């Protein structure tokens, strides 16, 4: 177990600070970075020793692989063996919140891939991270910058609250614009694409781009015991410490009947006629983009309030709702 370091410093995105952080990454240190999805804990993706520090800092099992973040389309061939389906999606959605799982190149160390023959790759859109990557001159491996299994961070302060004693450097790029981790698609066999994790880029968008169906991969208990194909596939993940109970719809009468105020009630849209410190919502009008952006932050804020349980509504519909509900179901899972 590594010795805790001094409390992490937050860096603004000045040229001097970016140069400092790029140097730290080249030396094999960890830097928490902003992305458009959630904050990530980054290391040089081609440095096995540096990447292993990520697992120690997060308490992450070595069986859960990392995503490699690249700066330009030309960088993809250096870390993965690319097929035409991958190039189609990369041209359509990168830079952006889409991760491709492809056969790996030998340059990618085992620590990144959990020893598997595949690698997960994406090109982030966040301008500050892209400036840092250009200065670093390396692809970056980065899972979410939080203790393993806990609610993902969408601000620099979330990172400092969770990892402030195990990482030294946090680049503050403001709140995450999307707030949900990237969509992940398995393209190892381009004839059989599979959706591994829903995200802001929806299944319908992927199917339109590829001109074919993209079924969801099925998780199995047997697979969960071995090395994962990609991040975010564990049954329990993104979880607050407070027990989370899910509802297709919350009956307002149940909220009014709860006089103890020991239960938190979380709605997708602002509920009519309900108020109180234990009643929260993700977006006033129920807009799913706003709801996704706020989900993890609101779960974190409720988790520290001492409630006995959190009762949350599932998002209605499909598309982005699938990503929100995926996170809620994993956050509520037991075991």
Residue 311 lies in a domain: yes
Say how many domains are in the chain: 2
pLDDT digits (tens, 9 = 90+) for 10-36: 999 999 999 999 999 999 999 999 999
Residue 115 lies in a domain: yes
Same domain for 221 and 250, yes or no, is no
CA distance 215 to 92: 20
Question: β-pairing, 9-11 with 98-103?
Answer: unpaired
CA distance 262 to 236: 24
Domain boundary residue, one of 225, 252, 272: 225
**Residue among 68, 144, 140, 61 at smallest CA distance from 104:** 68
DSSP 75-135: GHHHHB---HHHHHHHHHH-SSSEEEEEEBPTTS-HHHHTT-SEEEEE----HHHHHHHHH
Same domain for 152 and 70, yes or no, is yes
Alpha helices in the chain (DSSP H): 15-26, 48-58, 76-79, 84-93, 110-113, 127-136, 156-163, 203-210, 221-225, 252-257, 288-303, 320-332
Cross-strand bridge partners of residue 265: 279, 311
CA distance 294 to 252: 22
Domain boundary residue, one of 190, 225, 260: 225
Same domain for 125 and 195, yes or no, is yes
In Å, the largest CA–CA distance within the chain is 60
Residue 74 lies in a domain: yes
pLDDT in tens, the chain (335 residues): 444 445 799 999 999 999 999 999 999 999 999 999 999 999 999 999 999 999 999 999 999 999 999 999 999 999 999 999 999 999 999 999 999 999 999 999 999 999 999 999 999 999 999 999 999 999 999 999 999 999 999 999 999 999 999 999 999 999 999 999 999 999 999 999 999 999 999 999 999 999 999 999 876 444 456 789 999 888 999 999 999 999 999 999 999 998 888 999 999 999 999 989 999 999 999 999 999 999 999 999 999 999 999 999 999 999 999 999 999 999 999 86
Same domain for 248 and 218, yes or no, is no
- Residue 274, burial from CB neighbour count under 10 angstroms (0-12, 13-18, 19+): middle
Tokens at 88, concatenated: 């189609």
Domain boundary residue, one of 225, 254, 273: 225
Same domain for 259 and 308, yes or no, is yes
CA distance 126 to 130: 6
Same domain for 63 and 157, yes or no, is yes
Please state whether 150 falls in left (phi above 0), alpha (psi between -120 and 50) or beta: beta
CA distance 71 to 89: 16
Residue 237 lies in a domain: no
pLDDT digits (tens, 9 = 90+) for 85-99: 999 999 999 999 999
> What range does the domain containing 106 cover?
9-225
């Amino acid at each position: 177990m590594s010795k805790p370091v001094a409390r992490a410093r937050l860096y603004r995105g000045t040229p001097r600070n970016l140069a400092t952080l790029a140097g730290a990454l080249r030396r094999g240190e960890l830097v928490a970075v902003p992305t458009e999805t959630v904050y990530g804990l980054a290391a040089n993706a081609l440095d096995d020793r540096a990447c292993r520090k990520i697992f120690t800092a997060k308490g992450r099992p070595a069986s859960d692989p990392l995503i490699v973040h690249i700066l330009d389309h030309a960088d993809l061939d250096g870390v993965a063996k690319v097929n035409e389906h991958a190039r189609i999606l990369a041209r359509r959605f990168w830079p952006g919140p889409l991760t491709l799982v492809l056969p790996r190149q030998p340059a990618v160390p085992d620590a990144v891939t959990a020893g598997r023959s595949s690698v997960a790759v994406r090109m982030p859109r966040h301008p500050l991270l892209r400036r840092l990557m250009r200065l670093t001159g390396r692809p970056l491996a980065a899972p979410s910058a939080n203790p393993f299994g806990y609610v993902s961070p969408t601000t620099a302060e979330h990172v400092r609250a969770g990892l402030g004693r195990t990482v030294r450097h946090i680049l503050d790029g403001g709140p995450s614009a999307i707030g949900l981790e990237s969509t992940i698609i398995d393209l190892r066999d381009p004839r059989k694409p599979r959706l591994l994790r829903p995200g802001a880029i929806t299944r319908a968008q992927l199917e339109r781009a590829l001109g074919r169906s993209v079924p969801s991969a099925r998780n199995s208990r047997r697979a969960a015991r071995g090395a994962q194909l990609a991040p975010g596939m564990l049954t329990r993940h993104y979880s607050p410490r407070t027990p989370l109970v899910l509802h297709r719809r919350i009956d307002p009468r149940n909220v009014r009947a709860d006089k103890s105020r020991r239960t938190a009630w979380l709605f997708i849209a602002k509920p009519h006629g309900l108020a109180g410190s234990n009643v929260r919502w993700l977006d006033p009008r129920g807009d799913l983009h706003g709801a996704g952006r706020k989900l993890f932050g609101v779960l974190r804020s409720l988790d520290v309030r001492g409630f006995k349980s959190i009762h949350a509504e599932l998002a209605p519909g499909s598309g982005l709702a699938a990503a929100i509900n995926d996170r809620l179901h994993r956050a509520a899972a037991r075991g």
